[in-house]
Structure formats: structure tokens, C-alpha cells
Structure 1
Amino acid sequence: MNGGDVGGLGERVELGRARAVPLTELHDDRLAAAGVRLLLKRDDLLHPLLPGNKYRKLRHNLTRAAELGHETLLTYGGAYSNHIRAVAAAGAEFGFRTIGVIRGEEHLPLNDTLAFATGCGMRLVYVDRTSYRAKDDPEAVEALRRRFGDFYRLPEGGSNELAVLGCAELPAEIDVPFNLVCCPVGTGGTLAGIAAGLAPGQRALGFSVLKGGRFLAETVAHLQQVAYGGMSANWSISYDFHAGGYAKRNADLDAFITDFADRHGMVLEWVYVAKMLWGIFTLAEYGEFPSGTTIVAVITAPITRA
């Protein structure tokens, strides 16, 4: 794999620094009318196995797991979780066994995400939604250790203090002046890190992909607290563009995705990226961004050509 290798478990896992990814300016009459300049930071091109924020979240965690001598990674996610996919890929690449605790019942045939994960050797464990909500309880974690033995535990979405430190490296890679960075928000780690890495006068805006996601503000604040010992005041979250909830879509979102493909020749990933861009375009048309604003939108999951 480009960017590093592994001599063995217990030695340092070195993914290398993030390679340069393009900033692509998106020209659109609707944004121009609002006086907004939009640049896409194509983090989906950051790493062949760990695209986007998954590279940033896992880089320091994989190093820590290897340094501690762990041979197994255990993590959590829904059936469409890009984090589950990335951990499975990382495990296969670096020689970790992987276990994915999946919210909900098994449905066959497996969707593309879970089929990829099992193809990488990940063991999937399905739990009902009530049990999943209690996944962070010490008793629940200990039950998993009794069942599977020792493991390095990655939280849902990979969002912990090490993930925040990795995501905080992103703003320094942007080599043009900007006012605002936008990103999707599922578990809060990406937003927490980006905001921590901003220069004075810059802000971050996250777009919740969860219905009822107002708890995310507390989560982002907590992640900054554990990573840095305090919370920054340069970020906020929009809760109006979840399209029905995580891994759900509605007619408005679908119409935006279709129109975007027609205008720009790109098919947007719909669980995260499309919701963020839908929110940016809508807020721009409502005049929520001052004229002259330059926005960098972080593309955290793969998009394809139409």
C-alpha cells in the first residue's frame, strides 16, 4: 500500500501523512447569485483503502493499537457504515483481526458495505437496537471481551480523541483563503477536529445526517474536551438536512442529487455527502452566507462521474 508498511503487530503502523488531494472549485449559477464561492476538498481521494475522514480518524488509532500489541480491532456501526468498511480494509491490510458489531438484524444478501467487510475477513455480530444503544456500558464491553478475547476498541464512527487529532490536520492542507469549512456529521469527530485546526476568524459548519441529532453538539464539545482540554467556539451544526435520518433519503434529497449530476457530472454519495451539499446550496439560496464567503466542503465519501 502506498504511504507505509507494517513490519508486524506491536511495531508502529505507519500510514504516512495525508497525500495532497485536489481542491475543485464548483461553478454554479445559484452560488454565484448568492455571492458564494464553493471549493470541494476531495478527501475521498485521500487514500485508496481509507478514503476521506476514515484515514484521518484511523491513522493515529492504528498506530496506538499496534504499539499496545493488540491483534484485534473491534468497532460498531450500522449496515451502511463507511467506518465499518474502512476498519475491515485496514485490518486486512495491516494484519489485524476485525470484529464489527452491527446495529439491527442480519439481512441477506448482504449489502455492498457488509459484503466488502466480510470479504476483508471481518466477523460481523448483529445486536438488536436496544442492546446497541447500551454498547458503551462497561458491562456490554466486558461481555464482548469474554466472548472474543482482548481487542482494541474503536467507537462508532471511529470518533475518539485520536481521531480528533487526525482530523485537526485537515485545515492546514487548504492552501487558499477561506471563511468556512463544511462537513457531514454522523458521530462528531470530523467536525470536532476540523474546528480545532482552524485559524482565527475561520469557522466550521457541520450538517447532521441523523434525525434528532441535536445531541451531536454535546458530543462534539466532549470530543474537543478530551482531545484538547477545552471546547472551541468556532463551529455549529445544521440539523435540517437529514432527509429522514441516517441512511434514509427523501424526494427532496433525490431531486438535488439528480439535478447535481445533470449540472456537474458527479453522482453524490447520498448517506453523507449529498446531505451536506444539499444543505450548503439551500442555505446559500436563503442568503445565510454573507456575500463574498468562500466555503470549503469536505468530501468524506466517494463520489463518481455521472
Structure 2
Amino acid sequence: MEAAILRLDLVDPLISGNKWFKLKHHLAAAEQAGARGVISLGGAHSNHLHALAAAGKRFGFATVGLVRGHAVETPTVLDLQAFGMELHWLGYAGYRARHDADFWLPWRERYPHLFPVPEGGGGLAGAMGCAEIVEQARSQLGVLGWEDYDCWWLACGTGTTLAGLVLAEAGQHAVIGAMAVPEGHGVESNVDALLREGSRPCAKWTTEISEYADPAKSSCLKSRPPYSLLDASLGAFAKTDAQLLDFIRSCERESGIPFEPIYTGKALLALKQSVQEGRFAIGTRLIFIHSGGLQGRRSTDVAADLRVSPPT
């Protein structure tokens, strides 16, 4: 098989990876609503909050972050503050309440001039922004000498990016998501909800990867839009082990491409293991999405393990 990496980490040094695509329609909606800024949620290492705060500083709008846990200083948090984002620490119980129907009421009363954006830039607006990734990739196929491809492979946190790809593909090519969280954390239900809301018929295809990655069965792909999810979490979100870190180091030495261990590193390791298990048909052409998130590598433990320096 052949695999090509779509380097979304190169889109922008700060509004990086898939985050710009997720934010694009949310920010347009905020502007249309006459909002003076945006309020959203995330953790102390959140790629989403980092991109949002950077966008606010660059384009001149206010940003407020509702942060999981209790106040800590991480490289990400220091950046958020430097970018001018106002932070509120919710604790862990308070953050778990983010799905409650009345969660946003006090925050909208406190910040009536701000536009609320879902955690991670999710929702249909985030998915529709990510749908544009498909056209970006297709426009570059000629550089590879490819006329077509068979499937996508990407890391999944909430499944928003995957849902956008599935909507854009409309059944033409399979989309495979390597989950950064264990099964049962709501990725599948979120994807299905976004696909229903996106007003296009879609059904999860639960057959083996080799069945829908086989170019000889492309006619099936056009009759129903397939996607599949597999657990690449190593048992917990943000969990790492020696095998994963060694794999990332090896990939970086060979390719010169940086990866991080929470999303892209785990997704790439899961892809390698699937290839070794013979789960892809000979001749399969696959697009791997590098979704960015490199700023999160700066946490103390990960930086020490991968020997990385903070980006300039």
C-alpha cells in the first residue's frame, strides 16, 4: 500500500492543524451574530483553546476559556494568558457539567457579548469546516502522481473532523478514525449525530478494514458512505508508553516530520499495526491526516521523553 501525509500542522504556526478548519465557521457565525468575542472550553493543554486564543490575538477579538481542573501553569496556559485569553478554572466536577442543558446560562449572562463555541470547536459548524479538508487533499493528488485514493486515516478526539470528511466524501471513499479515547467515550454517538444533522444519509460500516480499503470494491463505496472507528488510546486519553514514544522518535528520525503522542503519534502507530496485520488490500492508497497539536508536546513529561523544544 501507499500512504501520503496531509500536513495540516503546516497550515499556520499557531492556529494549527485541523483547528482552523473547525473554527472557521464558528468565527463567521460569531461575526454574523455581532459578538465581540468567543467563549469556549478545554483542558490545560488544549490545542483548541490555544488556537482560539491565538486567533483572538491576531484578529482582535476577545476570548474567554473555561478550563478543566484547577489552576496550573503549563506551556499552553502561559500562552493562553499571553494571547490575552481570560481563564476560568471549573474544577473537574464543574467541567463534567458542560453537557448539562443549563450549563451555558450563567456564562451567557456574564458574557452576553461573547459567542459560545463547543468544546474542541465541535458541532456541525466544526464538521462543515473540516469537510473542506477533502478538497484541499484532492487538489494535491497530482503532486503524488495519484489519480485517486481509497481511504482516509486520522486521529479522533471527538470525531468532529472525521464527520466532516464523511459528509464531504458522500460515500466516495472510506474514512477510518483512530480514537485517542477508549471506546464508550461518545465518539461514535457524536459522529452519528453530526452526520444526521448534516442532512446526508450515512451508516457506519463495521466490516473489516480490508473490505472497504480494497480498490476493487469501489462501487460499494459509492452506494453507502463508510466510516470506521478503532481504539488507539492505549487504554486512556493521553496515556503513553515506551513503545509509542520509541515509535514516534523513529518516525521523526526517518521522515523529519514531528508528531505528538496524544493524537497523531497514536494514530500513526495504529496504522502501522493494521498494515502489519495485513488488513489492507495490495495497492491501497491512503491519506493520513497530520492534525497538528504539536504545541501540546511541551508538557514536562512528554518534552523530556521526546527531547523536544518549545516552538518559537
TM-score interval, smaller chain? 0.7 to 0.9
Match of 2:10 among 33, 36, 45: 45
Unaligned runs of 5+ in 2: 204-224, 296-306
Q: Matched residue pairs, number?
A: 268
* More displaced stretch, 242-251 vs 273-282: 242-251
Deviation at 1:264, TM superposition (A): 2.4
Partner of 1:183: 154
Deviation at 1:303, TM superposition (A): 5.7
CA separation in 2, counterparts of 1:152 and 1:203? Answer: 34
Unaligned runs of 5+ in 1: 1-35
Indicate yes or no: 2:63 matched with 1:98: yes
Matches within 5 A, 1:69-148: 69-107=34-72, 110-148=73-111
**Which amino acid letter does the alignment assign opposite residue 226 of structure 2?**
N
> TM-score if structure 1 supplies the norm length?
0.82
Partner of 1:198: 169
Indicate the SS of the match to 2:161.
Answer: helix
CA separation in 2, counterparts of 1:134 and 1:212? Answer: 21
**Which amino acid letter does the alignment assign opposite residue 271 of structure 1?**
I
Question: Once superposed, which parts of structure 1, at least 4 consecutive aligned residues long, lie more than 6 Å away?
Answer: none
Partner of 2:127: 164
Indicate yes or no: 2:199 matched with 1:236: no
Partner of 1:296: 287
**Which amino acid letter does the alignment assign opposite residue 150 of structure 2?**
N
Partner of 1:208: 179
Identity of aligned residues (%): 30
CA separation in 2, counterparts of 1:256 and 1:114? Answer: 28
**Which amino acid letter does the alignment assign opposite residue 196 of structure 1?**
L
Indicate the SS of the match to 1:166.
Answer: helix
**Which amino acid letter does the alignment assign opposite residue 57 of structure 1?**
K
Structure with more helix by fraction: 2
Cα-Cα RMSD: 2.1
* More displaced stretch, 267-276 vs 168-177: 168-177
Q: Deviation string for 1:244-286 (max 9, x for gaps)?
A: 4223312221121122223323331222110110111011101
Indicate the SS of the match to 2:15.
Answer: coil
> TM-score if structure 2 supplies the norm length?
0.80
Indicate yes or no: 2:223 matched with 1:260: no
Does the 8 A contact of 2:167 with 2:200 survive in 1?
Answer: no
**Which amino acid letter does the alignment assign opposite residue 153 of structure 1?**
P
